[in-house]
Amino acid sequence: MHQAELTLDPAFKVAPVRRRTFGTFVEHLGRCVYTGIHEPDHPSADDDGFRRDVLDLTRELGVSTVRYPGGNFVSGYRWEDGIGPVAERPRRLDLAWHSTETNEVGVDEFVRWCRKAGVEPMMALNLGTRGIAEALDLLEYCNHPSGTTLSDLRVANGSKEPHGIRMWCLGNEMDGRWQTGHKTAREYGRLAAETARAMRTMDRNLELVACGSSGSGMPTFGAWEATVLEETYDVVDFISCHAYYEEKDGDLGSFLACSTDMEYFISSVVATADHVGARLKSSKRIDISFDEWNVWYLSRFHGAEPPTDWPVAPPLLEDHYHLADAVAFGGLLITLLRNSDRVTAASLAQLVNVIAPIMTEPGGRAWRQTTFHPFAQASRHAAGDVLRVEPVSPSYETKEYGEVPLLHAVATHTEEGTTLFAVNRSTDAPLSLKIDTRALGGARIVEATTLTDADVYARNTADAPDRIVPRPNPDVEHDPARVLLPPVSWNVIRLA
C-alpha cells in the first residue's frame, strides 16, 4: 500500500471555478449530429427532431458550452447551406471526413438545440476556404436584431430573437497540413487579426479565439503561437490548445500520466503569450481556450483503410472507453482545473458518438461511456474557488514522462464545503491518502466515491451501461481525514 498526504487550505486560491471549463464540442463528423443529437424518426425525438434521451444526458453531463460546427469540417463549410427550408438545402461533399453533408442541421437548429440543452453556443468560423466577408455575414445573421438583409433572413427562417453568440473561434487548426486551407503562422495571423478587427467593428463585446497549435508535438509549436499572437494580441481574448492522448504499446503507466504533457502544453503557451505581451508592452492578458481535448485512439484512425465512397453520417471515431481511459481522462480534467487562472474555457471533443461520453444506437438506446462520469461529477461538484493542492506522494517511473507522482489532485471550495478530485495512477496498489483539514476548521469527509474496477479495461455497453459507475468508497476515516484510493481510480471526496 502507498501512503500520501495533502493539505486543504482556502487561502491557497488559484482562481474561481470557470463554468466554461465544462464545455464540449459538436462537429459535423460521423454520427455526432445525425443519429447523435438529431434523429427525427427516433422514438424520443421532439418536434425539432432532437433526441430527448441525448438532451437529458447532455444536461446530466453538466455541459456549459458547445463548440460548433468544427473542427476540420468548418474549414470547408458554407454556413448559408444550413439555413432556410430543409428540403431546399444543398448536399455537399465534406473533404475533412470524406462524407456527404446533408445540411439538415445548421446554425439555427444548433442554437435551438443549445437553448433546449441549457448550454452556451460557441461558433467556429471558416478561415480555411473563406475569410472576412463570410465571417461578417454569419455574425450579422446570428447577432444583429433586425433591419438588414441577413438579420431579417434569420427572422424569416424562424429565429425572431438574435442568437447572441458571444464566443467565436477564428478558424480551426490552421497549423495542420491536413486542414483545408492550411496556412503559415504569419498568413493565418494576418487573416485572423483582420477578421477580428472587422467583427469587433460590428460587435465590440465578442470574445475571440485565435488558433494555437494542434498539439505540443507539432514541429511549429511555440513559434506558431508567438507569430500568431504578434499579429492578433490586441484583438483576441484567447489562444487555443488541442490535445489528445491514448495508451501506446501497452504502456499503461505513461498513459495514466498523460496530464503531464497537458501541464507542459499549458505552461509553454502561457509563457509564450506573456512573452509576446511583454514585447508589445501590453497590460492585456491572453487566456487559453483548450477547445479540443480527450482520450482518442488516433493511431486506429490513421491505420484504417481510406474510404472510397461519400456516405452520410458514417460511424467514425467511435472509440469505446474503458476504466483506464476514464482515469486518464479524469487526470486531464484535474489539470484543466488546476490551471483555471489561465485556462478559462475548454471543450471536450466530442459530445455524442465521436470519441464521446455519450453513445447512441440509430433508432435505439443511448448510454454513458466510462468517461461520462468524471466529467459529470466534476461539473456537478466543482464550485467556488479552485484551491492549489500539492500532494506529498510516492512517484513512479514512466517511459514517456520520466518520474511522475502516483497522486494527481485538485480541490474546489465554497462556504458550504470543499471537494477534492483525485486520481491514483498506481496500477498495482491502493493509496492511503491523509487529508489535513485544519485550515477548514477540521472539516470531515461527508461523501467519497470512486470509479474503479478489477479489470482496468472493462467498458460500459448498451447491454451493460452501468458496469463502470462511481460507487461509494467504504474505506474512509474521519479523524484524521483519511481515504483509501483503489489502484487506477478516479475519486471524488466531499468535506464539510
CATH number at residue 433: 2.60.40.1180
- Containing structural domain, residue 331: 18-381
User: Is 247 known to be catalytic?
Assistant: no
pLDDT score, position 146: 97
Q: What is the mean pLDDT of residues 359-379?
A: 98
User: Is 246 known to be catalytic?
Assistant: no
pLDDT score, position 450: 98
Is 297 found in the same domain as 205? yes
Predicted confidence (pLDDT) per residue in 222-277, tens digit: 999 999 999 999 999 999 999 999 999 999 999 999 999 999 999 999 999 999 99
Is 479 found in the same domain as 357? no
Q: What is the mean pLDDT of residues 315-322?
A: 97
Is 32 found in the same domain as 69? yes
For residue 491, pLDDT over 90 is answered with: yes
Is 298 found in the same domain as 209? yes
Q: What is the mean pLDDT of residues 399-406?
A: 97
% of the chain beyond a pLDDT of 70? 100
For residue 480, pLDDT over 80 is answered with: no
For residue 479, pLDDT over 90 is answered with: no
Structural domain ending residue among the three candidates 381, 397, 428? 381
Is 287 found in the same domain as 205? yes
pLDDT score, position 439: 95
Q: How confident is the model at residue 372 (pLDDT cuts 50, 70, 90)?
A: very high
What's the mean per-residue pLDDT of the chain? 97
Structural domain ending residue among the three candidates 381, 398, 423? 381
What would the 3-class secondary structure string for the chain be?
A: CEEEEEECCCCCEEEECCHHHHEEECCCCCCCCECCCECCCCCCECCCCEEHHHHHHHHHHCCCEEEECCCHHHHHCCHHHHCCCHHHCCCEEECCCCEEECCCCCHHHHHHHHHHHCCEEEEECCCCCCCHHHHHHHHHHHHCCCCCHHHHHHHHCCCCCCCCCCEEEECCCCCCCCCCCCCCHHHHHHHHHHHHHHHHHHCCCCEEEECCCCCCCCCCCCHHHHHHHHHHCCCCCEEEEEEEECCCCCCHHHHHCCHHHHHHHHHHHHHHHHHHHHHCCCCCCCEEEEEEEEECCHHHHHHCCCCCCCCCCCCCCCCCCEHHHHHHHHHHHHHHHHCCCCEEEEEEECCECCCCCEEECCCCCEEECCCHHHHHHHHHHCCCEEECCCCECCEEEECCCEEEECEEEEEEEECCEEEEEEEECCCCCCEEEEEECHHHCCCCEEEEEEECCCCCCCECCCCCCCCCCCEECCCEEECCEEEEECCCEEEEEEEC
Among 61-65, 127-131, 307-311, 325-329, whose mean pLDDT is lowest? 307-311
Is 142 found in the same domain as 100? yes
For residue 159, pLDDT over 90 is answered with: yes
pLDDT score, position 490: 98
CATH number at residue 161: 3.20.20.80
For residue 77, pLDDT over 80 is answered with: yes
pLDDT score, position 308: 87
Predicted confidence (pLDDT) per residue in 13-52, tens digit: 999 999 999 999 999 999 999 999 999 999 999 999 999 9
Residues 80, 104, 134, 292: which is the catalytic one? Answer: 292
Is 392 found in the same domain as 266? no
Is 450 found in the same domain as 333? no
Is 196 found in the same domain as 155? yes
Is 330 found in the same domain as 182? yes
Give me the number of domains the chain comprises: 2
Structural domain ending residue among the three candidates 321, 348, 381? 381
Residues 173, 225, 231, 247: which is the catalytic one? Answer: 173
Is 415 found in the same domain as 324? no
pLDDT score, position 493: 97
Is 392 found in the same domain as 377? no
pLDDT score, position 303: 72
pLDDT score, position 305: 78
